Amino acid sequence: MIFDKYKSILITKMKNQLTGWFDNNEQASIENRDVYRFLHSIKGTSGTLELDLLYSISSELLAKVENRKSPWSIQELRDFLNGLMEISYEYEHFHEEIGKTPDLRDGDAPLIQIIDDDISLLIFLKDKLESKGWMVIANTTAEKAIEQYYNMHPDCIIIDINLPEQSGFEVLSVIQKHTNRAFIPKIMCSIKTDRESRIEAYKKGADDFIEKPIDVEEFLIRVERHLERKKIFDQSVLIDELTQVYNRKFLKDSYSRFISDMARLNSNGTIAVLDIDYFKRVNDTYGHIVGDKVLMEFAQFLKRSIRSTDTLFRYGGEEFVILFQRATETEIKEVLERMLEEFSQIDFKDGEQTFRLTFSAGIYRIENKEIGLHSAIKTADEALYLAKESGRARVETANKLKISKATKQLNVSIVDDDALIRSILINIFSSLEFDNISLDVKAYEDGMQFLDSDRLTQNGIHFLILDGIMPVMDGLEILQIVKKSQHRNNVHVLMLTGRKSENDIAEALKLGADDYVTKPFSLTELQARIVRLIKRMV
């Protein structure tokens, strides 16, 4: 089109000005007259070039600054102009008509894990699966794939037979030991389609076998059918497959009856949330098979220790919920403290090694019959977090203590040499809200700045977003240093890569990146992916 050249010039001008403001460490504030001139210019030019959405946004912003006298702080202006930054990025990378808004994917979309050392095929399948609105994590090596499977709990696994170091059959055997009571569809792919290979795959626990080269249309339909079957299965099952106690799906109905009984009997009830202390250390030290045994024994210990009128649920991971009928807060605190003392004396064994564990608990007496399940668990969970912060191996109550909004700390570090990308990502995180999660977001323009900051020594979980290609030190170098550090087990990494950087993607996955996103990316899609990753990691 005749205007395309001038549209590109306008977007470049916008980006240069925004970068100049937000990447200038020496400038503490921006005069309002400069902001006014900038917006006035954008409005006039965008109207002429028929960029309707940009014209509308700049007009709205211009009206808000027209009568302002005071200067702008950098952060204040960054927030104010966030919409322009996103438009600048979208147009520069996609060259689409400004105003098109990508669909926001479902935050609870199924998670699919692909394990294949053919990086070209892996990238291709990941793109195709994500075009369906599903979330995909990818691995090229068996060791990392198994670790990520345990940490991320995918809803479907797609695995190639021929993998380096370990075969797909061996990986499937390890995973099957963990999922022998669960239904997680496992699809094996291979160019080897002989009868023996297919039979071996099914023996090892595969639910389907797909021949390479893959017919993509058929592949997507088969994956979709497996996900539908899993959804139906999950909705029908009330017992947690691993621990053999009730699962969180049954908790909602049980809580409704719990409240009804309280109202009918004019009595109080108490909800407790329990969490095994330092459980991640068990998995890291002894392996996930031992970790599963610990969870099973803990669940059965709890089940033996409560009354027949009380109900136990596995809420997720190492966290359990108990609904105590006709019991006061004081009574339940005494019961749980006695249970804690007994549990701390149990010897767990791994070969010749013996270890002991404790748990922490938060309890909340429900007096208001109108309180919903989410609010009740949230309040009890705040007491649990207080117990953790107070040294663990203890029971805290929500009713007698004034609990501040106790939160888990998630340290987000953005390392990218593009000031515009840094600003956009900062704004994405500043717009996110999670129950009981506090985000601490910092951005760095290069790897040395990040590593010199000692950022990883801060308490809490770390989420690192790394640009693959940067001056001074690229993302792969930073990733390698991080994954060799003592903090490696506490850091989750999302790599930003170029679409044609297959070798870089392969190396990133091999070094331990949890996921990658190819540039250019939709900002809305990136935000949805970030939300899903945070929910899975915290």
Return the higher-pLDDT residue of 105 and 355.
355
Task: Of 537, 459, 518, 467, give the one whose Cα is nearest residue 94.
Answer: 518
Mean pLDDT of the chain: 84
Which top CATH class is 408-537? alpha beta
User: What is the rounded distance in angstroms from the CA atom of residue 271 to the CA atom of residue 378?
Assistant: 11
Question: Is residue 2's pLDDT more than 70?
Answer: no
The per-residue pLDDT for range 312-358, each reduced to its tens digit, is 999 988 999 999 988 888 889 999 999 999 999 999 988 889 999 99
What pLDDT, on the 0 to 100 scale, is given for residue 452? 92
User: What is the rounded distance in angstroms from the CA atom of residue 301 to the CA atom of residue 22?
Assistant: 56
User: What is the rounded distance in angstroms from the CA atom of residue 496 to the CA atom of residue 474?
Assistant: 11
What pLDDT, on the 0 to 100 scale, is given for residue 28? 78
Q: Which overall architecture, per CATH, does domain 111-236 show?
A: 3-Layer(aba) Sandwich (3.40)
What pLDDT, on the 0 to 100 scale, is given for residue 418? 78
What pLDDT, on the 0 to 100 scale, is given for residue 152? 80
- Rounded average pLDDT over 124-128: 91
How many CA atoms lie within 13 Å of 420's alpha carbon, on the beta-carbon side?
21
Per-domain boundaries in the chain: 4-94, 111-236, 246-397, 408-537
Please indicate whether the domains covering 111-236 and 246-397 agree at the CATH topology level.
no
DSSP track, 430-471? HT---TTEEEEEEEESSHHHHHHTTGGGSSSEEEEEEESS-S
Which top CATH class is 246-397? alpha beta
The per-residue pLDDT for range 471-515, each reduced to its tens digit, is 778 889 999 999 888 888 889 999 988 756 678 888 888 888 888
What pLDDT, on the 0 to 100 scale, is given for residue 532? 79
Question: Is residue 366's pLDDT more than 90?
Answer: no
What pLDDT, on the 0 to 100 scale, is given for residue 25? 63
Return the higher-pLDDT residue of 50 and 80.
80
pTM: 0.63
- Buried b or exposed e, range 284-300, using 16+ CB within 10 angstroms: eebebebbbbbbbebbe
- Mean pLDDT lowest for which of 85-94, 335-344, 417-426? 85-94
Provide the pLDDT confidence category of residue 105 given band limits of 50, 70 and 90.
very low
> Percent of the chain beyond pLDDT 90?
34
Question: Is residue 94's pLDDT more than 60?
Answer: no
What pLDDT, on the 0 to 100 scale, is given for residue 362? 94
| Contact of 262 with 370, CB cutoff 8 Å | no
- Mean pLDDT lowest for which of 203-207, 388-392, 393-397, 424-428? 424-428
What pLDDT, on the 0 to 100 scale, is given for residue 518? 81
Question: Is residue 179's pLDDT more than 70?
Answer: no
User: What is the rounded distance in angstroms from the CA atom of residue 497 to the CA atom of residue 513?
Assistant: 12
Provide the pLDDT confidence category of residue 98 given band limits of 50, 70 and 90.
very low
What pLDDT, on the 0 to 100 scale, is given for residue 101? 34
What pLDDT, on the 0 to 100 scale, is given for residue 12? 80
Provide the pLDDT confidence category of residue 311 given band limits of 50, 70 and 90.
very high
> Percent of the chain beyond pLDDT 70?
91
Task: Of 354, 407, 357, 359, give the one whose Cα is nearest residue 382.
Answer: 407
Distances (CA, A) of 171 to 145, 164, 180: 8, 11, 14
Question: Is residue 369's pLDDT more than 80?
Answer: no
- Rounded average pLDDT over 82-91: 77
Which of the residue ranges 100-109, 293-302, 327-336 has the most confident prediction, judged by mean pLDDT?
293-302
Question: Is residue 97's pLDDT more than 50?
Answer: no
The per-residue pLDDT for range 54-73, each reduced to its tens digit, is 888 888 898 899 888 899 98
- Rounded average pLDDT over 257-285: 87
Provide the pLDDT confidence category of residue 106 given band limits of 50, 70 and 90.
very low
Question: Is residue 107's pLDDT more than 80?
Answer: no
